[in-house]
Amino acid sequence: MRRLAAIVTSLVLVSLPALAGRPVPGTGRDVVNATRTQGGLEAERMAARTALADRLNRLATWCNDKELFIERDRIWHKVLEIAPDDTTARKGLRYARNVDGSWKEPAPRDLKNIGKKFLEDLPKRESEAFAPYGDALLALARAPERTAPEREGLLAEIRTIAPDHAGLHELLGNVKVGDTWVLPETAVAKTRRAEIKAVVKKLIEFAAPVEAQVASDQEKALGVPWKSVVQSENVRVLSTGPEEEAIKLAQACEAAGELLRFALDTEVRYPGAYTVYIVAGEGEKAVFLENLPGISEGERERLGALEGTGIPRSSNVALFGNDLLRRRDAGVRHTIGNMLALTLGITEKTAWAWEGIGQYLTRELVGTRLTWFVSENADPAAVNLRGKLMTPESNWIQEAFTLLSTGTATPLDELMLRNLDGLDVSGALTGYALVAYLLEGQPKVALDFVLRCAKAQEPPATITKETVQMTPAELQERLVRWLSERR
């Protein structure tokens, strides 16, 4: 099978360096020393804040001189967040004292930035004002005597007061994309998505060659009028409809193999003598199923209720639906599922990966996610979510973020152990999000991650720790942030 050259941009993920420190013992002289240390720490924090307030006051004065009045008041309000009783900022914002000594809120005033030519210089000046403060608190956080809670408190303060401080983001392992600090996986994913789309574009432009053939005696014995029989390198398509659809489906199924290979960076193969039947004419499904050998009456009844299905005890697929888009989606989705199981051992037993990879790649290739293997659920919330996800304009990343950010999603360590029978709609959506995170943001470890889950020989915590260096709970938190940045 032909293989497209993969253009992979290598991005180095920044690790999270550990801050030196030791816990404070809890008895005797150590308590006294810890108290003194904490008192010194508070004094140094306050000194850093005071110095920052002074620099911001000078910056607000500069804004006033340059007639940047909106920015002037914004910066003075920032001073009050740091030092609520700062006289300079209070006077600049026209506060007055009440009789009881409290501050009287000033009347609102209309403001304009008149000196707009100076706006370009403001971000640099503002960054220079905040930098020494962030540097000072980072130095305190790195001090050997610092306890873990003290370190966390210092870092949290920087996040609150100087969220754009470069040193903080470098410490946390973030990278800058444009003007925004994001996770390394977010930066990697941006490049990776472009690569995936470029591969899909090439697969569509240089579609696999397909030859017209005739039905075999066994195929004729199925009793329906095959109007089109085509064969690509790995896929045979028989259709009771137009040849154009049969050709496009064969090409899409060939492309699915190339895309799966690229996405997981591994060799994949198709089932032998792999065949997709399109049986879409009036009354043809019943005839096809009646003449399909090797299946029971119960299986015929079950298959008769489906729009598309894998044929029992074979890898072949039959598509019965009336909608062309749904048939194409189902053909591609079934093909990906067959290759995942045959080549990589990723089956419905590892439901989140089997369903998630299938949905993700089908969407990239044909633009739809219409074929589900998740069981129907009568729960109104599940029905509503499934309905939203089935619409063409649905944003699965946004829906996954909404689900995961509320804390109601299935924990990853549980999800990673569920088979298809235990996968509900919200679990499938979480699995889709995890697949997107791995394929886009962690492409170097994605294959190892899903293969180890499929083998089911290790607990989820071991898999996540050894592949992405996180516990399942930490990975879930990281996934939420990644989804927020990817949207």
Q: Which domains are delineated in the chain? A: 29-173 (no CATH), 209-343 (3.40.30), 345-487 (no CATH)
Higher pLDDT, 419 or 30: 419
- pLDDT tens, residue by residue, 197-225: 999 999 999 999 999 999 999 999 999 99
Count Cβ atoms below 10 Å from residue 344 Cβ, excluding itself. Answer: 21
Type of residue found at 113: N
Looking at residue 19, what is its pLDDT?
Answer: 37
Looking at residue 7, what is its pLDDT?
Answer: 30
- Say what the pTM is: 0.79
DSSP-assigned letter for residue 117: G
Sign of CA dihedral 356, 424, 429, 364: positive
Q: Which alpha helices (H) appear in 206-282, and where do they start and end? A: 217-220, 243-264
Type of residue found at 401: F
**Per the structure block, which two tokens stand in for 77?**
């309000």
Among 479, 326, 337, CA closest to 397: 479
Rounded to whole angstroms, the Cα distance separating 308 from 300 reads: 13
3-state secondary structure at position 431? helix
Rounded to whole angstroms, the Cα distance separating 52 from 58 reads: 10
- pLDDT tens, residue by residue, 397-453: 999 999 999 988 999 999 999 999 999 999 999 999 999 999 999 999 999 999 999
Percent of the chain with pLDDT over 90: 81
Among 185, 133, 140, CA closest to 164: 133
CA distances from 239 to 106, 207, 286, 365 (A): 77, 19, 15, 21
Rounded to whole angstroms, the Cα distance separating 157 from 151 reads: 10
**Per the structure block, which two tokens stand in for 9?**
């941009």
Looking at residue 23, what is its pLDDT?
Answer: 35
Sign of CA dihedral 77, 81, 87, 88: negative
Beta-carbon contacts of residue 188 (< 8 Å; ≥ 6 apart):
11, 13, 440, 441, 442, 443
Find the mean pLDDT for residues 66-70: 97
Angle between helices 184-205 and 351-366 (to 10 degrees): 50
Rounded to whole angstroms, the Cα distance separating 249 from 207 reads: 11
Rounded to whole angstroms, the Cα distance separating 315 from 394 reads: 31
**Do 427 and 352 touch, CB atoms closer than 8 A?**
yes
Find the mean pLDDT for residues 154-165: 91
DSSP secondary structure letters along 128-158: HHHHHHHHHHHHHHH-TT--HHHHHHHHHHH
Find the mean pLDDT for residues 300-307: 92
CA distances from 45 to 20, 133, 159, 193 (A): 19, 9, 14, 43
Looking at residue 178, what is its pLDDT?
Answer: 85
CB-neighbour burial class of residue 172 (10 A; exposed 0-12, middle 13-18, buried 19+): middle
Lowest mean per-residue pLDDT among 116-120, 350-354, 382-386, 402-406: 382-386
239, β-bridge pairs:
228, 278
End-to-end CA separation in angstroms for the chain: 35
Looking at residue 38, what is its pLDDT?
Answer: 55
Rounded to whole angstroms, the Cα distance separating 281 from 294 reads: 23
Rounded to whole angstroms, the Cα distance separating 424 from 166 reads: 42
Q: Which alpha helices (H) appear in 173-231, and where do they start and end? A: 184-205, 217-220
Please calculate the CA angle 464-354-233 and round it to the nearest 5 degrees: 125
Higher pLDDT, 35 or 101: 101
